[in-house]
Structure 1
Amino acid sequence: MGMNGLPQDGVDLAITYRTFATREAAGHCAIYETLCLGVAGDPELLARIGTLPLPKRQPNLLLASARWHGGPMDSYPRFRAWVLENWEQVATTMAQRRTQTNEAARMDTIQPVLATLPQPLALLEVGASAGLCLYPDDPNVEVVWRAGIDLNPLSVANPDDVRWLECLVWPSQPHRLQRLRQAVEIARRNPPLLVQGDLNHDLDPLVEQAPKDATLVVFHTAVLAYVQPAQRVAFAAKMHALHGHWVSNEAPGVINDVVAPPGLNVLALDGTPVAFTGPHGQVFQWI
């Protein structure tokens, strides 16, 4: 189990795109639902996508890369023709970029748990992207230090990085685009500490920088599905030994095997599931 739409060894790519269309995009983005169903039934385009390394075949990555280069989204025939004609530049962007969706609303699903912890907090996000999820607005949550680690941290001061984040916001969701732009402005006024590194090998030095008089909270959302199972186990062991708290917000089966409602993640505190959440912060349900 894991995130819908992540390519996996032994799973036909057509199934990956069809699953993303029906379980992720359906009911949330009709444009992406239509386009991914089209890709799922298109052997020629699937063959092109299949020439990329496995992690780079992801639907979100294809769609965002097409948008980055101005590809049409209004119909599958036009999208297909444009992608095939411009495949070289689309494939180059897919190879160079990552799906680093930095949905600030994910903090809405984490801060109810943060509010139960001893204040003030030192927040450290794993897979932080540009760090836009490091700014809770709950008055019961006091943050005195915020930092993040990412294999490829993005900067709100870099216009290309911000434009890529905008391309990762699904079309027909203007509220998410507005929220992203507001979060970017907040981060520009009060930039977080972001470092480049691996969650298992490079996290400890950042942990050591957290103020000792604050409660350390290491958290992540939709990150560990991109990590190999053995590395997930190693990371979980590191978190259980942490002098602080660990908040994970991942798809069912990535960390916890709790059966969640369709399309929802499992939010856990120190490894214990406490709530179900929407992948873009749109749902929060205490268990």
Structure 2
Amino acid sequence: MDAHTSRRYHAFADWARSSSPIYAEWAEGIAGDDELTELISRLGERRGQPNLVFAAARWAGCGLEPFAVWRDRLVAEWDSVASITAQRRTQTNEVGRCATLLPILSRIDGPIALLETGTAAGLCLYPDRYAYEYSSPAGEGLRTIVPAGPDAVRPLLRCRIDDPEALPENLPDIVWRAGIDLAPIDVRDADAVAWLETLIWPGSVHDDRVGRLRAAVEVARADPPRIVLGDILDRLPEVAAESPPDATLVVFHSAVLLYLDADERRRFADLVSALSERVGRRVVWVSNETAGTLPEIDGRMPRGVDSTGSFVQTVDGVPVALAGQHGATYEVSPFRS
């Protein structure tokens, strides 16, 4: 048995247990399986991610069956599964995260130029074109925000927010939007969009995510985003320089830096911090990443705050909120002095 893979899948099982029982069962089964841990270890760190392996298995025809049944199918289809992990990436492009981005964007003086690093299909580049419902942690309705125009395909993003003062007042004035990605996804490519759907975890709490994704794809297809192919460490300055000079440039990302090593994360943070001087105007850096991504962020966290299961949202390197990984929750109270 490969011990590292076993620990990795045990940890994933703990993470998935509350929202995707079948993924938790698969992960637990793999963690205790000599043959499967060895097979997965040969894929390497990136290709052996549970999210990717499970999506690849589903793409290869392994159904949502109990582990004992699913295991036999996985082994039988292993060559196909391994090939898929080499060809594809975990680009979930969760549009619900816009609900936790909006409280920040609505407070930035416009017009805004929006640049996302690690953008996948660019679905999070349209926060001004989605509808939102904010409620209290107890479920009391607090605010609904709906853009003008037809709403036939517009996704509705719901978010529980713990402080009414953090509610966004309106939609941002976005005049330019672009993204950078190592493997951009074309929203007009039905196969690529189907893969995005496959990356959504099975489980009742995730069912709404499929509908949101499909609606967001329709929004993006009506006005396809500009996505630049390349490494964010190489392309960020030149793409940022293309943004309109009279707009506030906002660089943002969610669950991207975990795919970089420590040195690359440091380079990225330094790169974004120097952008304002390079482009000659204000740049706002909004980050949604897990704790442990950058040591200076961890050092600024209020004592006793438990960020398990959430992103730590920062603005210009300062923690301001806990953002639910799929956009369902937004907590600012722990950061209010």
How many residues in Structure 1 have an aligned counterpart in Structure 2?
Answer: 277
Q: Mind listing any 5+ residue stretches in structure 1 that lack a counterpart?
A: 1-9
The aligned residue for residue 254 of structure 2 is: 221
The aligned residue for residue 100 of structure 1 is: 91
- C-alpha distance after superposition, 1:102-144 (max 9, x if no partner): 1000111111111111112110000000001111146331111
Indicate whether 1:268 and 2:314 are aligned.
yes
- C-alpha distance after superposition, 1:167-223 (max 9, x if no partner): 101112220000000010000011111011111111111111111111100000000
Greater CA drift, 108-117 or 245-254: 108-117
Map residues 30-109 of structure 1 onto 2, 5 A cutoff: 30-109=21-100
The aligned residue for residue 250 of structure 1 is: 289
1:260 is aligned with what amino acid? D
Map residues 128-139 of structure 1 onto 2, 5 A cutoff: 128-136=119-127, 137=130, 139=170
Query: Which aligned segments of 4 or more residues in structure 1 are displaced greater than 6 angstroms?
Result: none
Give 1:260 deviation, angstroms: 3.4
The aligned residue for residue 184 of structure 1 is: 217
1:18 is aligned with what amino acid? H
What's the TM-score, normalizing by structure 1? 0.93
The aligned residue for residue 150 of structure 2 is: none
1:260–1:266: 8 Å Cα contact kept in structure 2?
A: no
1:117 is aligned with what amino acid? I
The aligned residue for residue 166 of structure 1 is: 197
Distance 1:135 1:11 in 2: 42
Distance 2:200 2:98 in 1: 16
Give 1:11 deviation, angstroms: 7.0
Distance 1:39 1:62 in 2: 11
The aligned residue for residue 4 of structure 1 is: none
2:314 is aligned with what amino acid? A
SS of residue in 2 equivalent to 1:275: strand
1:245 is aligned with what amino acid? V
Give 1:29 deviation, angstroms: 1.0
Indicate whether 1:14 and 2:6 are aligned.
yes
Q: Mind listing any 5+ residue stretches in structure 2 that lack a counterpart?
A: 131-144, 146-169, 277-282
SS of residue in 2 equivalent to 1:15: helix
**Greater Rg by CA:** 2
Give 1:261 deviation, angstroms: 2.8
SS of residue in 2 equivalent to 1:55: coil
Cα RMSD over matched residues? Answer: 1.4
SS of residue in 2 equivalent to 1:37: helix
Indicate whether 1:208 and 2:238 are aligned.
no
Distance 1:121 1:38 in 2: 48
1:252–1:260: 8 Å Cα contact kept in structure 2?
A: no
2:186 to 155, 158, 163: 155
1:126–1:150: 8 Å Cα contact kept in structure 2?
A: yes
The aligned residue for residue 278 of structure 1 is: 324
SS of residue in 1 equivalent to 2:314: strand
Give 1:53 deviation, angstroms: 2.0
What's the TM-score, normalizing by structure 2? 0.80
2:291 is aligned with what amino acid? P
